[in-house]
Amino acid sequence: METIPNPVHEEKLDHALRITASQASGLSSGGAVLLYSHVDDDPETGRLRAAAGFRTAEEARRFATDLERLVLDAIKTGEPQRGQAVGPIAERGEDGSALAIPLTTRNRVVGAMLVAPNAPLSDEARDAIDTLAWSTAIQIDHAGLTSHYQLLAADSEKNLELADEKSDELLKLSEELFAQDIELLRNNEKLGKIEKLKNDFIEKMSRELRTPLNSIIEATITVLSSENENLSEASRQTLRNALDEGTAYQRTLQNILDLWRIKQDEFPIEIQDVAMADVIDETIFSVQDTLRDKPVEIVKDIPEPLPRIRTDLAKINQILFLLLDNAAKFTERGTIRIGARYHEDRLHCWIEDTGIGICPDDQKYIWNEFYQVDDRASDRYRGAGLGLTLVHDLLVLLDGDSLLSSEPGSGTRIEFSIPAVRA
């Protein structure tokens, strides 16, 4: 049966496939993922529909070109195909392997999923990816059946003389769509359980790691604050470095917990009176450790006195700290400007730096979890790539919006605004 594309259904399917690609990337330790659907007039070819886990669009295109044969073999044979990634994708994974999984439903191959994991897949992860592939196949086929069903319904109205014949086909399609709806519900329930197990594991591990880490940090602070004459300056410096690393790790664990709480809808908004001028001063003070001895000046840019407003103090403080800390991290010299103004029941804030900047291809990915503009950046600039993701989710929680502008070598400006009434 030939499926007839419908623009509305295609748009919905593309959105669903982008979500699926992101889920598969997460299951493969942030690996590279491509999703294909077959082309009706040539079932042994595939159309690229979604991608996840890539730093740039060019990287995704190169990956698709290099492993095109692997994908076509999976679509043609209906069997999983193993191969070897090349270039930057191969360097990210431990063994550089790639897996093309055919998307099969009703004994038909409707596409393929190409995965290049960043770490070897556990049995649980492979089972989850297989389940995801099965669900994706149903979604692709479901979209085609729905389009064909609606076309037949419209055609039946125009051709009453063929009503009986069309009605039989419509009834058959209705039964198939209903059966697929049931399968999707069952599959989504299974994926939901997998997602819950993953989230519970993240939450538990973060809490379990944070407790001993807090003890280590407290013990280090106690030793540094004591007047122990037997402790050399070199030893004190080593302890200071350990304290800095421990504090950064503690912050990463807290970011993970906060992201988990937002996803679980367990991060309530607590509105109170806020003096934004004080919040900005506290934020500037908090990032001094990140700046260390770098020749960087932080300048306040407040064009007019800020009124006291009603908002969530903890969350706005966290957003400003994460953005300013990120700017301090990636600015080696020059100026960082932090500003705010209140206009028409909205708080507008901005942070502008003279740092390394972000190339246009990378800008759309910077809000993604664990995303690093450059693998080498993780060695030079401490961080897990969660700060901007948390900023994005906190802004969504506060019904805010953001705007990024950046040029490589010139710096970055991030603006955001949130609704807020005067106190």
pLDDT in tens, 184-198: 556 666 666 656 666
For residue 338, what are the contacts with CB-CB under 8 A and spacing of at least 6?
280, 283, 284, 298, 299, 300, 301, 320, 324, 349, 350, 351
Q: What is the pLDDT of residues 296-309, one digit of tens each?
A: 999 999 988 899 99
Instruction: For residue 267, give the amino acid letter.
Output: F
pLDDT of 375 over the 50 cut:
no
User: What pLDDT, on the 0 to 100 scale, is given for residue 289?
Assistant: 79
pLDDT band per the 50, 70, 90 thresholds, residue 87? confident
83: number of Cβ within 10 Å:
19
Pick from 91-100, 133-142, 151-160, 410-419 the range whose average pLDDT is largest: 410-419
* Alpha-carbon distance values, 181 to 19, 134, 186 (Å): 18, 13, 9
User: What pLDDT, on the 0 to 100 scale, is given for residue 95?
Assistant: 75
Q: What is the pLDDT of residues 250-293, one digit of tens each?
A: 777 777 778 778 877 888 899 999 999 999 999 999 888 788 78
pLDDT of 337 over the 90 cut:
yes
Burial of 1 (0-12, 13-18, 19+ CB in 10 A): exposed
Which residue's entry shows tokens 């055609």?
A: 155
* Alpha-carbon distance values, 361 to 44, 55, 279, 357 (Å): 31, 8, 33, 12
Tokens linked to 244: 């800095």
pLDDT band per the 50, 70, 90 thresholds, residue 411? very high
Residues 148 and 144: their CA atoms lie apart, in Å, by 6
Phi-psi group of 409: left, alpha or beta (phi > 0 → left; psi -120 to 50 → alpha; rest → beta): left
User: What pLDDT, on the 0 to 100 scale, is given for residue 115?
Assistant: 94
Q: Both ends of the chain: CA-CA distance in Å? A: 64
Residues 239 and 222: their CA atoms lie apart, in Å, by 11
User: What pLDDT, on the 0 to 100 scale, is given for residue 195?
Assistant: 62
113, containing H or E segment: strand 108-116
The percent of residues in the chain predicted with pLDDT above 70, rounded, is 75
pLDDT band per the 50, 70, 90 thresholds, residue 48? confident
User: What pLDDT, on the 0 to 100 scale, is given for residue 223?
Assistant: 76
* Alpha-carbon distance values, 409 to 55, 306, 334, 354, 358 (Å): 18, 32, 12, 8, 8
Which residue's entry shows tokens 């700290």?
A: 321
Phi-psi group of 9: left, alpha or beta (phi > 0 → left; psi -120 to 50 → alpha; rest → beta): alpha
Contact 111, 76 (CB under 8 A): no
Burial of 215 (0-12, 13-18, 19+ CB in 10 A): exposed
Instruction: For residue 126, give the amino acid letter.
Output: R
Of 7-11, 209-213, 394-398, which gets the smallest average pLDDT?
A: 7-11
pLDDT of 163 over the 60 cut:
no
* Alpha-carbon distance values, 419 to 11, 274, 316, 317, 388 (Å): 31, 13, 12, 15, 20
Of 98-107, 132-141, 165-174, 262-271, which gets the smallest average pLDDT?
A: 165-174
pLDDT of 166 over the 90 cut:
no
User: What pLDDT, on the 0 to 100 scale, is given for residue 116?
Assistant: 92
CA Rg, the chain, in Å?
26
User: What pLDDT, on the 0 to 100 scale, is given for residue 298?
Assistant: 93
Q: How confident is the prediction for the chain on average, in pLDDT?
A: 79
Residues 168 and 155: their CA atoms lie apart, in Å, by 13
323: number of Cβ within 10 Å:
25
User: What pLDDT, on the 0 to 100 scale, is given for residue 3?
Assistant: 46
Residues 353 and 407: their CA atoms lie apart, in Å, by 11
Q: Is the pTM higher than 0.75?
A: no
